[in-house]
Amino acid sequence: MPELPEVEVVRRDLEKEIVGKRIKSVEVDGMRSIRRYKTRKAFTDQLEGQKIVGVARKGKYLLIKLEEKRVLVVHLGMSGQLLRAKSSREEKLKHNHVTITFTQGGQLRFVDPRTFGEMFVTNFDDIDKDVEELAHLGLDPLETAMSWDRFGALLTSHKTKLKPLMMDQRFLAGIGNIYSDEILFAAGLRWDRASDSLSDQETRRLYRSMVEVLQDAVKYRGSSLADEQYVDLFGKPGEYQLHHKVYAHDGDPCRRCRRLIVRQKVGGRSTFFCEACQV
């Protein structure tokens, strides 16, 4: 599933590519991606003729701003992709569910093999009401800066294991399995370390590692795993997977101490860490 860095890369691409364009027509193939609507027309009527005035992000949701405070909300789900096509003549990929054509030429296409993603239009002020997850969203590590003391107080107040806490969207927005492992390795902390047991120095390391790992991931345009279900707006895979230190590196020597990285199943997910470096 795309995590915070991948969604942020797509947001920045969209901001450069589609802001200022007017929607000429919208084509929907299948109802799964617009499942909040009873008919295709109910969805397309809210978009056709609208001008795109901005692109924002809230957690892992993309907010394509329209005129009159309307917004097209896009959630990529497990396998969703937004792809820019220069013209309608470009061949469509399989599982292309929504195609937005602009009056100036070119298209924006929503591809989603597993169909867990969705698109819908709402008023900007109603987003939190329409998406319950967003109403209780936690700190956005790419957008919200805070002091180490404040971050430490938040950690201490939860009294739980670090990895599940970091993946809790009510605590931190957008961090999933990949980046929680990479952040904890960078900070030298085990996944099952109690969140209220960190020293001041460890709290600083964790906060700094979180910011640096996420910023680097955006710089390298996200992580594309073997299935390449994540690609950017232009269909290109990210490169941050080439810089992963522990994720999917079980059996490889740790880059710090040369001890082998281990893999452990936690709550149905694989967790990767170094038993020597992370304490």
Arithmetic mean of pLDDT, 46-61: 97
d(CA 40, CA 272): 43
> Rounded to 5 degrees, what are φ and ψ at 148?
-60, -35
Arithmetic mean of pLDDT, 44-58: 97
d(CA 113, CA 93): 10
Higher-scoring residue by pLDDT: 145, 11: 11
Would you state the pLDDT for residue 182? 98
Is residue 228 scored above 80 in pLDDT? no
Check 58, 60, 84, 221 and give the catalytic one.
60
Domains (range + CATH), the chain: 4-135 (3.20.190.10), 148-273 (1.10.8.50)
Banded pLDDT at 133 (limits 50, 70, 90): confident
d(CA 273, CA 68): 48
Check 2, 11, 141, 221 and give the catalytic one.
2
Residue 269 bears catalytic tag: yes
Rounded to 5°, angle at Cα 106 from 223 and 49: 110
Arithmetic mean of pLDDT, 202-223: 97
Both tokens of 240, joined, read: 């941050």
Residue 60 bears catalytic tag: yes
d(CA 61, CA 131): 10
Banded pLDDT at 124 (limits 50, 70, 90): very high
Residue carrying the six token digits 């939860």: 158
Arithmetic mean of pLDDT, 111-139: 93
Residue 24 bears catalytic tag: no
Would you state the pLDDT for residue 28? 98
Check 24, 161, 208, 269 and give the catalytic one.
269
Residue 5 bears catalytic tag: no
Is residue 51 scored above 90 in pLDDT? yes
What is the three-state SS of 25-64? EEEECCCHHHCCCCCHHHHHCCCCCCECCEEEEECCEEEE
d(CA 161, CA 264): 15
Is residue 227 scored above 80 in pLDDT? no
Both tokens of 146, joined, read: 């805070």
Would you state the pLDDT for residue 111? 97
Would you state the pLDDT for residue 146? 87
Banded pLDDT at 277 (limits 50, 70, 90): very high
Q: Which of 46, 51, 65, 64 is nearest to 7 (CA)?
A: 64
d(CA 65, CA 83): 18
Is residue 99 scored above 90 in pLDDT? yes
